[in-house]
């Protein structure tokens, strides 16, 4: 089963509209030139509109970094999947470790977001990953397994098919210290096997599992060469075209 790798840039709380415009303009020719991966950018909410217009007709897909699991309502400051669909998003990141840590997001809340995204045909990128303490205690599979099971609770097979998983060890995010290709592959294989248990082997083989955590031009090739790594969720290195372009072109 061939899975098209997804290289997605998570711009976090960076980039004013003009800066986002400049960056995406620089990325378009690179994204249009590769046929072995899909490229997505996830700007802050305030830049979604301008970037949505810029990427129309290009090979760059648009993603959001978060959503609130209601269609609309009195939820001051929140953004709904309906709004994200309306603005042209294809993907939405859910369960990023920064949201779990700083905004106390639980697996149950993340699960609600998935269901609301499915209602609007948005593709979730579900982030999972263990902390350094958990890894050092040898608990990474227990932790990630629990996040997967609870995050995906009651998700039917046809919706799972539209879901991307991002394995992001928390100790590797924004630290410059990436998981080794072997460490990442071991966890990706574990996640795929778990999806095989929850669903079935055919479905598990078709799901894209991205790696995230200090992906940069110097390590992307080796990480992407692993059998079960199907792309990257890139934070810091997606903010500069001279770093993100070589990541997009990891096979050139
Ligand atoms: C991320 O924010 O999802 C991420 C992986 O960040 P970084 O690439 O900076 O480690």
Among residues 55, 58, 77, 56, the alpha carbon closest in space to that of 66 is found at: 77
Q: What angle do CA 181, 169, 104 make, to 5 degrees?
A: 165
As for ligand 1, residues whose beta carbon falls within 6 Å of it are 10, 168, 173-174, 212-215, 233-237
CATH of the domain at 120: 3.20.20.70
In a domain, 155, yes or no: yes
In a domain, 1, yes or no: no
Answer yes or no: are the C-beta atoms of 121 and 90 closer than 8 Å: no
Structural domains counted in the chain = 1
**Ligand 1 atom closest to Cα of residue 178:** 10
How high is the pLDDT of residue 1?
56
In a domain, 204, yes or no: yes
In a domain, 210, yes or no: yes
Strand partners, 6: 38, 231
Among residues 119, 121, 112, the alpha carbon closest in space to that of 89 is found at: 121
**DSSP three-state, residue 168:** coil
In a domain, 54, yes or no: yes
Residue with the two structure tokens 């089963």: 1
Among residues 84, 245, 116, 234, the alpha carbon closest in space to that of 174 is found at: 234
Domain that holds residue 75: 6-248
Q: What angle do CA 79, 80, 81 make, to 5 degrees?
A: 130
- Residue nearest to ligand 1 atom 1, measured at CA: 235
Per-residue pLDDT of the chain (252 residues; tens, 9 = 90+): 589 999 999 999 999 999 999 999 999 999 999 999 999 999 999 999 999 999 999 999 999 999 999 999 999 999 999 999 999 999 999 999 999 999 999 999 999 999 999 999 999 999 999 999 999 999 999 999 999 999 999 999 999 999 999 999 999 999 998 899 999 999 999 999 999 999 999 999 999 999 999 999 999 999 999 999 999 999 999 999 999 999 999 999
In a domain, 189, yes or no: yes
pTM of this structure: 0.98
In a domain, 13, yes or no: yes
Report the distance separating Cα 204 and Cα 156, nearest Å: 13
Ligand 1 pocket mutation pick from 215, 216, 247 by most atoms within 8 angstroms of CB: 215
Report the largest interatomic distance among the alpha carbons of the chain, rounded to a whole angstrom.
Answer: 49
């Amino acid at each position: 089963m061939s899975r098209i790798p997804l290289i997605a840039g998570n711009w976090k709380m960076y980039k004013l509209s003009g800066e986002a415009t400049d960056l995406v303009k620089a990325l378009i020719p690179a994204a249009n030139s590769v046929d072995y991966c899909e490229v997505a950018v996830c700007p802050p909410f305030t830049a979604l509109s301008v970037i949505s217009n810029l990427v129309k007709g290009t090979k760059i897909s648009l993603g959001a970094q978060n959503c609130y699991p209601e269609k609309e309502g009195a939820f001051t400051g929140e953004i709904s999947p309906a709004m994200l669909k309306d603005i042209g998003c294809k993907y939405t990141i859910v369960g990023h470790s920064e949201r779990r840590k700083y905004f106390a997001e639980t697996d149950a809340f993340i699960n609600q977001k998935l269901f609301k995204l499915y209602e609007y045909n948005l593709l979730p990128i579900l982030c999972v990953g263990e902390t350094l303490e958990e890894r050092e205690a040898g608990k990474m599979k227990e932790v990630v397994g629990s996040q997967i099971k609870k995050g995906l609770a009651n998700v039917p097979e046809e919706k799972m098919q539209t879901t991307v998983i991002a394995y992001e060890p928390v100790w590797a995010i924004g630290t410059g210290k990436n998981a080794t290709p072997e460490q990442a592959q071991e966890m990706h294989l574990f996640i795929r096997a778990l999806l095989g248990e929850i669903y079935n082997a055919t479905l598990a083989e078709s799901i894209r599992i991205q790696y995230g955590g200090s992906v940069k031009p110097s390590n992307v090739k080796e990480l992407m060469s692993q059998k079960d790594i199907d792309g990257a969720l890139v934070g810091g290195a997606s903010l500069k075209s001279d770093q993100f372009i070589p990541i997009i072109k990891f096979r050139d």
